[in-house]
Structure 1
């Protein structure tokens, strides 16, 4: 018995199968493009908040103004141990203003905090500097006027001469709160606060000269030196900016001006003379005052932590 296969039917069936396979293969080979990947935002180099500490150098300019120097001499004169006369004279002078420029080292500690969601920040820094700056006036003469009483009475005039009048500003601390604005790699800032400065006044080679009855006398004998040191309060103002080299290290550059309150002091020293035919004992004393202003341009390297 022979089997008959319908060729046209078989061909149609195979064509349909191949068509389905082709469609399935095409569907399987369809490539779906990947979802676009958003670029990650670069990390901010400057931390939003940090404690920091640094070391640097500053170019300082010192100016001494409002200087005042008062001196007086009081003396008792004797002849053969017997009181002969008593005299006193005094006066005030105003030494000229002076200035100095110096390079100094300094250290600072601080903290800043950026307000959330803004570019504004607040902070504070405490700085210490050794300036070692001074102002000197040579040959300062303090005029003297007074009287003497005793066996004879009369007027006395003259000068207390100071070989050099020197004012120094040595150490300085400043605490400055500040407000700033960030710009990505750093911030600019401005602020101000109290300061504490060590000042020293030196009066070198001081002698007292008196003029009586038309003659000039060296009343005090060999010259004296006086020195007075004190800590005085003041106020500082600052403007500056920072630039972060890495997330941990940054450069800070600033300008600061500091005003001290009036520094003052006094001096006193006894003297004994045996000249001009009489013996003399006395005291040379007085006081002084001044105001110091410093301006500093500084740069430092700091570590944030």
Structure 2
């Protein structure tokens, strides 16, 4: 009786071992050893990069990447993972597909949207994208305004926005008392503000930030409350990444954001972008 039971026990143990081996062999290598550990074994972190100042910029002559997302990717790879960092040329149409097809390990500067979340995972936001306002500080109409939307949404206040954009959609839904001036391009909206044909320039916060830094004597950026079209801007990651591995990049970004280091990188990149124009 005992020998029979031992025989069954041995067969059961063999089946367990075989099943475990088959399961392990069916898992991707990155899942078996951890996503970041697999990159450390390869010695290279591949960063998919589509250019858009101040997120990612590329010098036409040297091919060197800069911009605050490029700097974060380089720092994370070299100083956290202790590996080389390789930037892979991409465009905004291929960033998500490149993650899915393993052409790169992280995608730089992706806005968090529900549609993208069906295909990829996101890190914690490095910064927030939102629609912002730019005003002329010398305009008497703007005296004493705060970041409250109600301070600006008044009769006699004109908002200049590029027609048909997401900014146009957001400001149209928010502004009830002011006048909206829809123009064909960014140059026209900026000229309208500078000539005081418009009182408020409506654009993406990163674009307005660049313009405000280039014109500190008269330009002031306002992030309205309540926020308009606010989205986190993050690293895109493979959707299969584990929660533990995502914690690694999330902790890195959260700490750097809390200390103001990312804001410093944004300002540096914005000034570089203005200098290059």
Shorter-chain TM-score range: under 0.3
Bigger-Rg structure (1/2): 1
* Higher relative strand content: 1
* Larger RCO, structures 1/2 (Cα 8 Å, 6+ apart): 2
* Higher relative helix content: 2
> With structure 1 as the length reference, what TM-score do the two structures score?
0.19
